C-alpha cells in the first residue's frame, strides 16, 4: 500500500487497545494522528508509544468524551490542525456498562451503553463529515463488533449499541456518497487486549469463542488496525457502506455465551430462571 503522508486523521478511543493500534497503523504509514479519549494520562502514555514507533509522524492528543457534542467539536477541529484538513476518522470509542440478562438490566446502564456506542459515533460523524468532504478523500471508519451482527448471550445492550452503530454508518455512507465521503464499519471478534483479559486467560467463555472461530485463535489489535489503515487509505476508494467482519470467521457460525460471567452476579435473582430453564 502507498503511504499516508499528508493525511490528517482522528482516532477516538485512541488511548489503548484497538484505538491505539489503529492510530499506530496510520502513523506508521505517515499520517498525522490525533487520538482522543476521556483520560488524559492514558492518552499521553499512548502518544509517547506512538511517537517512539513513528518518529516522523505528528501525534497529538485531545481529551474528549464522545457523548459530549462540544467536546467532539473541539476534538475534530484539533485533528485538522496539522494540515488544515481532515482526511480520515476511526471512531473506536465504545464499550458496555452492562453484562447480564436483558430482563435484569439496569435502565441507566443500558442507556449509557447505547449513548456511548450509537450517539458517540453519530456525534463524531456529524462534526467530522464537513471536513472529510472538503478533503476530497475523506473516509470514516466506525468500530463496531461481531456482537452487533449475531447474538451473544448476556451482551444484549452492547450488541444493540453495535448494531445501531453499524446502521448509522450504512445510512451515512448512502447520504454522504455525493460528497465523496466513504463510511464503513469494522466488526471485530474477540481481541487479545486488556479489556478481554478475563476471557483470554481461559475458561468457558473463551471456549465458547474458539469453538465457533474457524481460524481457532483470538485476534490481535494489529489485525483490526491493519483493516482500519486499508479503509482510511486510497486503496479502498471504491468501498463504502460496508460492515466488515474481522473475527477469524466467527460470523460464519454464532456468537459466544457470556453466561459464566453473568451467572455469579444474577443467579440469586428470581428472574434468572427465565434465561436458564430447560438448560
List, for residues 134-175, the tens digit of each pLDDT value.
999 999 999 999 999 999 999 999 999 999 999 999 999 999
Nearest to 91 by CA among 15, 148, 19: 19
Q: Among this protein's residues, is 158 annotated catalytic?
A: yes
Q: What angle do CA 166, 247, 226 make, to 5 degrees?
A: 85
CATH number, span 8-275 = 3.40.50.720
- Does the global pTM surpass 0.85? yes
pLDDT at 216 over 80: yes
Task: Identify the active-site residue in 7, 158, 209, 258.
Answer: 158
pLDDT at 100 over 60: yes
Average confidence score pLDDT of the chain: 96
* pLDDT reported for residue 258: 95
Q: What percent of the chain has pLDDT over 70?
A: 99
pLDDT band, residue 182 (cuts 50/70/90): very high
The runs of H, that is alpha helices, within the chain are 17-28, 40-53, 69-79, 107-114, 120-135, 156-176, 197-200, 204-210, 221-232, 259-266
Cell of 73: 467539536
* pLDDT reported for residue 2: 65
pLDDT band, residue 278 (cuts 50/70/90): low
pLDDT band, residue 195 (cuts 50/70/90): confident
- Given a contact cutoff of 8 angstroms between Cβ atoms, the answer to whether 35 and 47 are in contact is yes
Q: Quick one: which H or E segment has residue 190?
A: none
14-69 pLDDT, tens digit per residue, is: 999 999 999 999 999 999 999 999 999 999 999 999 999 999 999 999 999 999 99
Look at strands 8-12 and 88-91 and give their pairing.
parallel
In the chain, what are the domain boundaries? 8-275
Amino acid at each position: 500500500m502507498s503511504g499516508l503522508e499528508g493525511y490528517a486523521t482522528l482516532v477516538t478511543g485512541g488511548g489503548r487497545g484497538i484505538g491505539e493500534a489503529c492510530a499506530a497503523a496510520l502513523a506508521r504509514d505517515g499520517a498525522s494522528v490525533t487520538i482522543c479519549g476521556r483520560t488524559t494520562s492514558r492518552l499521553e502514555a499512548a502518544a509517547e508509544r506512538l511517537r517512539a514507533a513513528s518518529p516522523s509522524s505528528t501525534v497529538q492528543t485531545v481529551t474528549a468524551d464522545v457523548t459530549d457534542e462540544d467536546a467532539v467539536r473541539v476534538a475534530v477541529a484539533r485533528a485538522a490542525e496539522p494540515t488544515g484538513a481532515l482526511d480520515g476518522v476511526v471512531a473506536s470509542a465504545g464499550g458496555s456498562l452492562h453484562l447480564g440478562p436483558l430482563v435484569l438490566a439496569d435502565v441507566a446502564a443500558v442507556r449509557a451503553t447505547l449513548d456511548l456506542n450509537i450517539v458517540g459515533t453519530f456525534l463524531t460523524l456529524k462534526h467530522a463529515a464537513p471536513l472529510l468532504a472538503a478533503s476530497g478523500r475523506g473516509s470514516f471508519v466506525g468500530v463496531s463488533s461481531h456482537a452487533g451482527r449475531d447474538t451473544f448471550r448476556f451482551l444484549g445492550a452492547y450488541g444493540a449499541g453495535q448494531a445501531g452503530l453499524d446502521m448509522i454508518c450504512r445510512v451515512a455512507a448512502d447520504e454522504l456518497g455525493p460528497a465523496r465521503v466513504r463510511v464503513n464499519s469494522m466488526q471485530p471478534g474477540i481481541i487479545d487486549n486488556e479489556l478481554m483479559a478475563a476471557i483470554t486467560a481461559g475458561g468457558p467463555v473463551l471456549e465458547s469463542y474458539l469453538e465457533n472461530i474457524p481460524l481457532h485463535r483470538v485476534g490481535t489489535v494489529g489485525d483490526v488496525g491493519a483493516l482500519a489503515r486499508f479503509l482510511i487509505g486510497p486503496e479502498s476508494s471504491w468501498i463504502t457502506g460496508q460492515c466488515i467482519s474481522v473475527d477469524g470467521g466467527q460470523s460464519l457460525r454464532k456468537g459466544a455465551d457470556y453466561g459464566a460471567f453473568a451467572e455469579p452476579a444474577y443467579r440469586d435473582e428470581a428472574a434468572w430462571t427465565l434465561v436458564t430453564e430447560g438448560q
